Structure 1
Amino acid sequence: MPKRWSIKTEWALLETGPLEERAGFAALGISAYDTWLTAGHDRLLQSVREAPYLSAYHFAEWLAWNWWRLRWEPRKTSLDWELSHAMGSIGGGYVWPNIHILSDGENITLVCKPTPERARTPYRYINDGASVIPAAEFESEVDLFIEMVLQRLQDCQVPDCNLRDVWQAVIHERQDPALQQQRKLEAMLGEDPGEMDEVLLRHFLNNAGATGQAALEEIAANRIPGQNVPDIAGLIELGQEQGTLTDPQDRITLRARAPRGLDTAWKLGAHTAQLLREQERLAPDTPITNDQLADMYGAPHNMLDASGHSTPRLDLSFALSQSDRRSKVLLRSRWEAGRRFELARLLGDYLIHDTSDPMRPATRSDTYRQKIQRAFAAELLSPFLAVDAMLNSDYSMESQQDVAHHFKVSELTIRTLLVNHDRIDRSELGEVGWAHS
Structure 2
Amino acid sequence: MSDRRFFELSTTWPPSRNKSDEETAEIGIRLGYNILTRVADFELGTNRDFFRASATTLALWFVENAWRLRYETLHDPRYPSVDWRLSHDMTSVGAGLLWPPAMIYGSGERVIFAPSVGPRTNVGAQQFLEVLPGSVIGRDFDDELERFFSKVIDHHGNRASGEELIARVARWRDERVDPDFAGWRRLEAALGYNIDAAPENLLEHLIKLESLVGESGIEEAAASSPGAQSASTLSTALEATQNSPLQLDFAVIEGVNIDASMSNAHPWQLAEAAAANVRQKLGLRSTPLLNRDFAQILNVNWQTIKDARAIAADLPYAARLMGKGELNNVALQTTHQKDRRFELARMLGDAIWSGDAKFGLVSRAKTDRQKFQRAFAQSLLCPYDALKDSIDMSAPSDVQIAGAAQKFHVRESVITSLLAYKGVLQFENLEQRLEAA
Q: 1-side partners of 2:74 and 2:257: how far apart? A: 33
Q: 2-side partners of 1:117 and 1:183: how far apart? A: 33
Q: 2-side partners of 1:243 and 1:408: how far apart? A: 26
What is the CA-CA distance between 1:188 and the residue it aligns to?
1.1
Kept in 2: contact 1:246–1:326 (CA 8 A): yes
Greater mean alpha carbon deviation, residues 176-185 or residues 295-304: 295-304
Counterpart mapping for 1:239-258 below 5 A: 239-247=241-249, 251-254=252-255, 258=259
What is the CA-CA distance between 1:255 and the residue it aligns to?
6.2
Greater mean alpha carbon deviation, residues 45-54 or residues 320-329: 320-329
What is the CA-CA distance between 1:397 and the residue it aligns to?
4.4
Kept in 1: contact 2:257–2:352 (CA 8 A): no
**Structure 2 SS opposite 1:180:** helix
**Which amino acid in the other structure matches residue 106 of structure 2?**
S
Aligned match of 2:31: 32
**Aligned residue among 268, 271, 275 for 1:269:** 271
Q: 2-side partners of 1:193 and 1:117: how far apart? A: 30
Kept in 2: contact 1:258–1:275 (CA 8 A): no
Aligned match of 2:188: 186
Aligned match of 1:324: 325
Gapped runs of 5+ residues in structure 1?
none
Q: 1-side partners of 2:92 and 2:161: how far apart? A: 26
Q: 2-side partners of 1:157 and 1:79: how far apart? A: 31
Aligned match of 1:54: 53
* 1:122/1:146 CA distance change after superposition, 3 Å: farther
Kept in 1: contact 2:295–2:302 (CA 8 A): yes
Q: 2-side partners of 1:115 and 1:123: how far apart? A: 17
**Which amino acid in the other structure matches residue 153 of structure 1?**
H
Residues 1:127 and 2:126 aligned together: no
* 1:311/1:99 CA distance change after superposition, 3 Å: closer
Q: 2-side partners of 1:191 and 1:256: how far apart? A: 34
1:334-382 CA-to-partner distances (Å, cap 9, x unmatched) read 2111111111111122234312x33121222121222211111110001
* 1:51/1:288 CA distance change after superposition, 3 Å: same
**Which amino acid in the other structure matches residue 222 of structure 2?**
A
**Which amino acid in the other structure matches residue 198 of structure 1?**
E
Kept in 2: contact 1:240–1:328 (CA 8 A): yes
**Structure 1 SS opposite 2:50:** coil
1:85-117 CA-to-partner distances (Å, cap 9, x unmatched) read 111111111011111113212222222479967
Q: What percentage of residue pairs aligned between the two structures are identical?
A: 26
* 1:184/1:159 CA distance change after superposition, 3 Å: closer
1:160-205 CA-to-partner distances (Å, cap 9, x unmatched) read 5332222222111111111111111111111112111111221122
Count of matched residue positions in the alignment of Structure 1 and Structure 2: 428
Kept in 2: contact 1:304–1:340 (CA 8 A): no
Aligned match of 2:433: 433
Q: 2-side partners of 1:308 and 1:402: how far apart? A: 30
**Which amino acid in the other structure matches residue 28 of structure 1?**
I
**Aligned residue among 128, 137, 142 for 2:145:** 142
Q: 1-side partners of 2:292 and 2:156: how far apart? A: 66
Q: 1-side partners of 2:256 and 2:193: how far apart? A: 42
**Which amino acid in the other structure matches residue 189 of structure 2?**
A
Greater mean alpha carbon deviation, residues 237-246 or residues 64-73: 237-246
TM-score normalised over the length of structure 2: 0.89
Aligned match of 1:214: 216
Q: 2-side partners of 1:337 and 1:14: how far apart? A: 66
* 1:277/1:138 CA distance change after superposition, 3 Å: same
What is the CA-CA distance between 1:402 and the residue it aligns to?
3.0
* 1:371/1:413 CA distance change after superposition, 3 Å: same
Greater mean alpha carbon deviation, residues 265-274 or residues 414-423: 414-423
* 1:135/1:396 CA distance change after superposition, 3 Å: farther
* 1:140/1:118 CA distance change after superposition, 3 Å: closer
Counterpart mapping for 1:58-69 below 5 A: 58-69=57-68
**Structure 1 SS opposite 2:94:** coil
**Which amino acid in the other structure matches residue 241 of structure 1?**
N
**Aligned residue among 88, 92, 113 for 1:89:** 92
**Structure 2 SS opposite 1:192:** coil
Kept in 2: contact 1:321–1:328 (CA 8 A): yes
Q: 2-side partners of 1:275 and 1:392: how far apart? A: 26
**Aligned residue among 162, 165, 184 for 1:163:** 165
What is the CA-CA distance between 1:229 and the residue it aligns to?
4.5
Aligned-residue Cα RMSD (Å) equals 2.7
Kept in 1: contact 2:90–2:103 (CA 8 A): yes
1:245-299 CA-to-partner distances (Å, cap 9, x unmatched) read 2345x54534676352342111111101111112222141x32012222232334
Q: 1-side partners of 2:104 and 2:398: how far apart? A: 31
**Which amino acid in the other structure matches residue 164 of structure 1?**
I
Kept in 2: contact 1:415–1:429 (CA 8 A): no
* 1:368/1:256 CA distance change after superposition, 3 Å: closer
Aligned match of 1:391: 391
Kept in 1: contact 2:202–2:228 (CA 8 A): no
What is the CA-CA distance between 1:45 and the residue it aligns to?
3.3
* 1:391/1:128 CA distance change after superposition, 3 Å: farther
Kept in 2: contact 1:219–1:230 (CA 8 A): no
TM-score normalised over the length of structure 1: 0.89
Q: 1-side partners of 2:121 and 2:82: how far apart? A: 24
1:184-235 CA-to-partner distances (Å, cap 9, x unmatched) read 1111111112111111221122111121111111111101568655432222
Q: 2-side partners of 1:337 and 1:229: how far apart? A: 31
Gapped runs of 5+ residues in structure 2?
none
